[in-house]
Copies of this chain bind each other. A is one copy, B any other.
Amino acid sequence: MTRQKRTVFYLSDRTGITAETLGHSLLTQFDGIDWETVNVPFLDDSEKARAVVAQINQAAEQDGHRPLVFSTLQQPEILDVIKQADCRVYDFFEAFTHPVEAELRRPSARKAGRSHGLQNSPAYFKRIAAVNFVLAHDDGVNPKHFSEADIILIGVSRCGKTPTCLYLGLQYGIAAANYPLTPDDMDVQQLPAVLEPVKHKLFGLTLTPAQLHFIRQERRPDSRYASLTQCQREIQWQEALFSRFDIPYLDTTRISIEEISAIILDRCGLKRQLYG
């Protein structure tokens, strides 16, 4: 099949996260297409909608193919304006609202902006508190509070502990601490003493020595720290340690933070708080 250049629009009256998440997960299933992405959040009046129509028509002309439009617009009158453009519209609410209304035997409110938690909700405060916990317990700081953590990630330098903890806090409200395993620990096949009392909360992150080498090279090029030999030694040692002490762990080499976080929650039986 010949390669196509196509444009995709994500339209929303709020952040556009839902439209983009859905559309993206669908479009990743198609190979051989070069996508140009246009995000239009906060599309909440007809004048803006008419400007988007012009933009869509221009893309259609340039591409030689009509654009795909993924939409989560709540106001039918704005969607009607968009439908006048030369495009194919996939509206999420249009597809699912009627079937769900029928199932629940009540009408939907069709109001914008209900999807994200309000600042005043308890779940929202829990997320912010979790972020503060993560920041206060990054890289082995304040281990005396580790008993208050929901989970403690461990692993060698640059294995992804900090971004994963932040994602767990921000997205799911999980109080995640992390503790670095350092070459100083390598002489003994023991857990650092401070981790002993919280052993049941530990989760290890590992990756291939080649990937660790690649990441460390960015940080300190051609150092001993970044050498492939050093990375091999540290990874071999930490995986032996995880096995010896029955610490669950995950090879993160080919997976994203979103997936690492979801796998950790699943394996540790932690409650997800994606929405309040």
Contact = CB atoms under 8 A, between A and B. Distances in A.
Nearest to A32: B106
A256 B100 contact: no
Contacts of A95: 95-96
Q: Quick one: copies of this chain in the complex? A: 2
Main secondary structure of the interface of A (DSSP, over half): mixed
A124 B253 CA distance: 12
Contacts of A225: none
Interface stretch (A22-30, A182-190, A234-242): A22-30
Given A254-B118, A256-B117, A262 B16 contact: yes
Given A24-B115, A41-B266, A256-B117, A30 B163 contact: no
B16 A106 contact: no
Interface string A1-44: 10010100000001111101110111111111100000101100
A113 B259 contact: yes
A24 B272 contact: no
15 contacts: A17-B21, A17-B258, A17-B262, A24-B275, A25-B115, A26-B92, A26-B93, A28-B114, A29-B108, A90-B99, A118-B256, A127-B163, A128-B163, A131-B162, A166-B170
Interface of A: 1, 4, 6, 14-18, 20-22, 24-33, 39, 41-42, 68, 72, 74, 88, 90, 92-93, 95-97, 99-100, 103-104, 106, 108-111, 113-120, 124, 127-128, 131, 135, 138, 160, 162-163, 166-167, 170, 211, 252-259, 261-263, 266, 272, 274-275
Given A18-B25, A124-B256, 5 more contacts: A26-B92, A29-B111, A116-B255, A118-B255, A135-B162
